[in-house]
Amino acid sequence: DAGVTQSPTHLIKTRGQQVTLRCSPKSGHDTVSWYQQALGQGPQFIFQYYEEEERQRGNFPDRFSGHQFPNYSSELNVNALLLGDSALYLCASSLAQDRDYGYTFGSGTRLTVV
Amino acid sequence: RKEVEQDPGPFNVPEGATVAFNCTYSNSASQSFFWYRQDCRKEPKLLMSVYSSGNEDGRFTAQLNRASQYISLLIRDSKLSDSATYLCVVNGGSYIPTFGRGTSLIVHP
């Protein structure tokens, strides 16, 4: 049973560059959520995709954008990278109808901006 | 006030000890509650859901107090392998999980 897979696992980018992170949800899941986790902090909600549309968005600037494909996989794009964007980016998948169940997380992409 | 608040710790306890973590939340419309465990540099993993009646899973007991808007996690007979960060998670009215910053537990021999 394939869990949530994310790529790449690690990434180093320069300030001002753009980055794309990818996520494949757990088999059977149709909803993908993205979180940013800075060192020593809990994951912060970026946005959630369902039926190829952004359903909910957290308090993140427009530099953060995303996409969901027909096969439920998703991408997170960050433009004009800042040093403060350095963090672990987590993708979580779930089934829209199972709202009371927890999410399954991928192992994350560790982004370092230099 | 943060939506979900936890004492970051660390809690440093000997093997065999009982340790309790608390978490408070601000949204009274919150629908569901969870505890996640996160090992160093790994992703969070669901430990257990928290039900109004309280629930137990082996050495772990979770309780919810809706009136006071807090959740607790009790770990009995702590093992070295319990060392991790424990994240309190609350699903608000929008069903988007909101995470606390986590409580660090260190179990020593």
Q: What is the pLDDT of residue A2?
A: 65
Query: Which residue reads 């794009």 in tokens?
Result: A77
Going by their DSSP bridges, the two strands A74-78 and A44-50 should be labelled as unpaired
| CB within 8 Å: B43 and A99 | no
* Contact between residue A44 and residue A58 where contact means Cβ atoms under 8 Å apart: yes
Digit-coded pLDDT (tens) for B1-48: 778 999 888 999 999 999 999 999 998 888 889 999 999 989 999 999
Q: Which residues of A touch B (CB under 8 A)?
A: 33, 35, 40-45, 48, 56, 58, 88, 90, 92, 99-108
Nearest C-alpha of chain A: how many angstroms from B102? 6
The sign of the CA dihedral B56, A43, A105, B69 is positive
| CB within 8 Å: B46 and A42 | no
Digit-coded pLDDT (tens) for A37-59: 999 899 999 999 999 999 999 99
Q: What is the pLDDT of residue A1?
A: 55
Q: Round the average pLDDT of chain B to a whole number and report it.
A: 92
Cα–Cα distance, A32 to B36 (Å, whole number) = 18
Residues in B closer than 8 angstroms to A108, CB to CB, are 43
* CA–centroid distance for B68 within its chain: 16
| CB within 8 Å: A99 and B96 | no
Q: What is the pLDDT of residue A99?
A: 66
- Checking if the pLDDT of B55 tops 70, the result is yes
Q: What is the pLDDT of residue B91?
A: 85
